[in-house]
Amino acid sequence: MLLFAPAWVALEYVRSRFPFGGFPWLLLGYSQTNSLRLLQVADLAGVYGISFLIVLVNTALVWAWWRREYGWRACGPIASACVLLAVCLAYGSAELRRWDQVQPQYRAALLQGNLSVDEPEPALAEKYKEGYVRMADKLGSADADLLILPESPSPLIFQYDRQYRETMQGLAHRFPLGVVFNNISFRDGNGAGRYFNSAFFLDRSGTKTGVYDKIHLVPFGEYVPCKKLFFFSETISKDVGDFQPGDTYLTVSLRGHAVNAIICFEAVFPDLCREFVRKGSELIINLTNDGWYGDTWAPYQHLAMARWRAVETRRYLLRAANSGITAVIGPTGEIQVQTGLFREETAIGAFSFLSGQTFYVRHGSSFLILCVIILFGALSWSLIRGARGR
C-alpha cells in the first residue's frame, strides 16, 4: 500500500509520454493549483512532486486505519507524511516571500479577438486583420512594450499576403519590443510542401526575428498518427490537419533577452517548457485557442496547468487565448490579470525577463527516477522474500 505513491507518479509519467506523445491532462497534482504555498514545490519536483504528496498522505491515513493499532508501524507513515507536508508548506511560504519581491519592468498587451472558425471567411479575414488593429488602437502609446496576439483560425498567410504582412509590421512599429503572433508557415521539403503551426516574432522595425514551429502537435487534430492504422480518420472528421512538427527549441532575442513561445496545449507538457528555459529563455509566451472546448471547464483547466509551468521554471508566462482565458502569470503561479470567456477583450500586465535555472529545470526527471527506483527496488525485495519463504 505504501508503494502506491511512487507507483502513481510513475504511471502519471507514462501517461505524459504514451501514446502519441502523451496526454498529461489533469494530473493529480493540478488539483492543488490554487494552493499557492504547495504550488511553490513545483520548482523542485514539478507537478509530479505534489501528486506524490497527495497520494502519500491519503495512503498513510488508510494504512493507519487499516492496522487499527498504536505504535510506529501504524502511525509512522502518517507522521512522515505530515512532516513532509509541513516542510513543503514552509518552503512554499519562503519562496512566496522571495519571488514577491520581483519588480516587473515591462508591460505586455494581450489581445483576445474571440474569432470563430464558423464565421464566413471574408468576415473572419476582416476580424483577423482589422479587428486586431482596432483593438491595438485603443491602447495608449505608453500602455505596453510588447503586443501578443493569440493562436486563432487564420484565413490570411503572413508569408504570401503582402497587405496582411504590412499590417502586422505596422503593429510592430508601435511597440518597443514588437509583436508576437500566430500563423501558418510553409516550407519546401523532399519535393513537397510542408506547413507548420507557428509563432512569428517581429521587432519594432517590423523585421522578422524568428519563427517557432510547434513541436508537440495535437493527435487527430493537427495530424493523424499511424496513418496506415487510422486510415479511416478522415472519413470521421474533416477537421484533422496535416501539420508537420517542428524540431527546434527556438528562443528569440528581445533586446538581448532570450524569449520562447509555446502553442496551445504544449503548455501541459512540463518537459517541453523546461527545455526552452534550459536553452536560456527568460520569458514564456503561450499562444492558444481554447474555443474548441466551448463553454466548459476545459479552458479553466488549461489555464490552471499553464500556471505550473511558470513556477517550475520561475518565469513570467504571458498567455494570449483567442476566446479566453487570457492571463499574465507571475513566477509564483499567481495570476496578475485575466479575461473572461468568449468576449473581445484586452489584458495588460507587467512582466520581467528572469534568468537562472531552478532545480527542476536542471534535473527535471530526478524525482521520477527516484520513484521508479523505490518502486522496483521494493517489488524486487518482496519477490526475493516471497521466494525464500516458499
Residues with a catalytic annotation lie at 151, 214, 264
Residue type, 8: W
Of 249, 222, 251, 226, the closest CA to residue 237 belongs to 222
Give SS3 for 133.
Answer: helix
Type of residue numbered 194: R
3-state secondary structure of 334: coil
Which one-letter amino acid corresponds to residue 139? L
Please report, in angstroms and rounded to a whole number, the separation of the first and last CA atoms in the chain: 22
Q: How far apart are CA 373 and CA 184, in angstroms?
A: 44
Handedness of CA 24, 30, 36, 39 (dihedral sign): negative
**Residue 138, number of CB atoms within 10 A of its CB:** 10
Q: How far is it, in rounded angstroms, from Cα 212 to Cα 245? A: 11
Alpha carbons within 13 A on the beta-carbon side of 114: 13
Distance CA 259, CA 277 (A): 9
Task: Tell me the sheet residues that pair with 188.
Answer: 193
Q: Which residue has the cell 483577423?
A: 128
* CA 319/CA 149 separation, integer angstroms: 9
Q: Are 366 and 360 in contact (CB under 8 A)?
A: no
